[in-house]
Amino acid sequence: MQTATSRSLFCLYLAYFADYFIWGVVITFLATYIGTAQSPFLHLCNWDKQVALGVCIACFPIGEVIGSPILGDLSDLIGRRKVLLGGIVGSIFSLGLCALCLWKGWFVLFLIGQLLTGFFSGKQSMAQAAIAEIDTGTKGQKLAFLSVLGGIAWIAGPYLGGQLLEEPFVTCGGYIWPSLLSCAIFVCTLFCTYFFFHDQYAPQNIRLPLTKFIRGMGHLFSTFKERVFFLFLMNLLGWYLVIVSISYFLIQKFNLSNSEVGIFNSYIALCFTFGGILGTTWILHRYRAKKILFWMQMLGALGLFSLFGSEKIAELWIYLAIPAITEALIYPAYQTMLSDQTNENNQGKMFGVLNAVNGICQILAAWILSEIPTDYIGGAILLSGILFLCSAAFIPLILRKKVRAI
């Protein structure tokens, strides 16, 4: 029984890693696909290149916003295994479509492929729900390990994708290889899931007409009524503001080269991975999730305010590490709290909403950054620190109200 549980958990972690891996190996290089002289898209439907790039970047998170609640809700109705297998097949198809479009130069169809890739990445919500349900370790530990996988994918994806955009690969197929590598990862995931994943969730198996299913999607967002959810939203938006602005901040304030910025970005990913390891092996094993949220967010805010005021490059090694390590603990802690407050038959829905919010925060962060004047790009870091601080400040108030309600 323990062996079957371990195999199932491995399959879920592999599926989660594959979805994050495509971020690094494919999505990272959209600017290369569209904005360079070697772009396969000779005709962009009379769009400006910057507009075309913006639309292309937005397609993935929009697809994720749509797909996450739908696939999460569907997994509550028909079971985790069916949705997981269907989502993996969908990812293989959409990434194969993207590779074909990069080869043939079909831009509009490439946008559809990006949208579908984001949609099927919504199966993460089902994988997270299934991970939380598996009876081994604490829920916080299991969810914290997702931070480790995300950090590894964040490091490995851009590196391998960059290698596949060099010679001799570019000569033999152009820019198709990162998408094909992602397809190969998902094929491996499909094989493991089909043979080794055992679904421990008992689905509701309710036959719903399509109209009633769509109407029921409105109930997904009952999560918004939870005060904890809005604190999670503030923190997540703050974190994505750091992600989208840090490269510009380092270039503007410290005059770093692209390669030096790349080193610091990899360092952030490494710190995030280290934070996930801390959460898995120690902090979220020893302490309850709600006990660490206040102090982790306060510490993260301190790191961001220090980063905003930093004057020396040497200080970056400390001030970048603090928010990265703390966020690797904060994110699974919020997931654990919201999961504990959700009925066991609605776990897929809940994680679906959280992943949809992930996509929304990515879009919001990019929009906020575009509205900040170039000379004041450090304001994005300052705003991130304020969001972390506000999220932390309301935690004691909410927990006190929960105790009184009990």
Kindly report, residue by residue over 294-344, the tens digit of the pLDDT: 999 999 999 999 999 999 999 999 999 999 999 999 999 998 888 888 887
Whole-number Å distance between alpha carbons of 309 and 298: 17
* Whether residue 199 sits in one domain with residue 249: no
- Same-domain pairing of 185 and 286: no
Q: What is the domain extent for residue 129?
A: 1-138+148-218
> Considering 167, 201, 218, which residue would you say is the last residue of a domain?
218
Q: Total domain count for the chain?
A: 2
Residue 154 or 86, more confident: 86
CA distance 226 to 233: 11
Query: Is 377 domain-assigned?
Result: yes
Q: What is the pTM of this model?
A: 0.83
DSSP 8-state symbol, 83: H
Tell me which range, 58-67, 69-78, 125-134, 302-311, is most confidently predicted by mean pLDDT.
302-311
405 pLDDT above the threshold of 50: no
Given a cut of 60, whether residue 113 has pLDDT beyond it is: yes
Q: Are residues 296 and 153 in the same domain?
A: no
Tokens of 253: 């304030």
Top mean pLDDT of 115-129, 258-272, 351-365 is at 115-129
Q: Show the tokens assigned to 297.
A: 């967010």
Do 119 and 203 have their domain in common?
Answer: yes
The answer as to whether 19 is a domain residue is yes
The answer to whether residues 67 and 192 belong to one domain is yes
Peptide bond into 40 cis (omega under 30): no
Residue 235 lies in a domain: yes
Does any domain span residue 363?
no
Domain ends where: 218, 241, 274?
A: 218
**Same domain, residue pair 186 and 273:** no
Q: Is there a single domain that holds both residue 251 and residue 157?
A: no
Give the span between the Cα atoms of 144 and 89, in whole angstroms: 27
Q: Which of 327, 365, 124 is nearest to 240 (CA)?
A: 365
| Same domain membership, residue 65 and residue 108 | yes
For residues 278 and 206, membership in a common domain is answered with: no
CATH code assigned at 293: 1.20.1250.20
Query: Are residues 268 and 355 in contact, defined by beta-carbon separation less than 8 angstroms?
Result: no
What is the pLDDT, as a whole number, of residue 406?
A: 43
Is 354 a member of any domain? no
Answer whether residue 358 shows pLDDT above 60.
yes
Cα–Cα distance for residue pair 272/274, rounded to 1 Å: 5
120, 134, 154, 397 from 198: Cα distances, Å: 21, 10, 28, 41
Which amino acid is present at 264? F
364 located within any domain: no
Residues 85 and 46 in one domain: yes
pLDDT score recorded for residue 204: 62
The verdict on residue 350 lying in a domain is no
Is residue 177 located within the same domain as residue 269? no
Are both 27 and 97 inside the same structural domain?
yes
- DSSP-derived secondary structure for 291-314: HHHHHHHHHHHHHHHHHHH--SHH
Q: Are 392 and 293 in contact (CB under 8 A)?
A: yes
**End residue of a domain, out of 200, 218, 236:** 218
- Please report, as a single letter, which amino acid is at residue 209: P
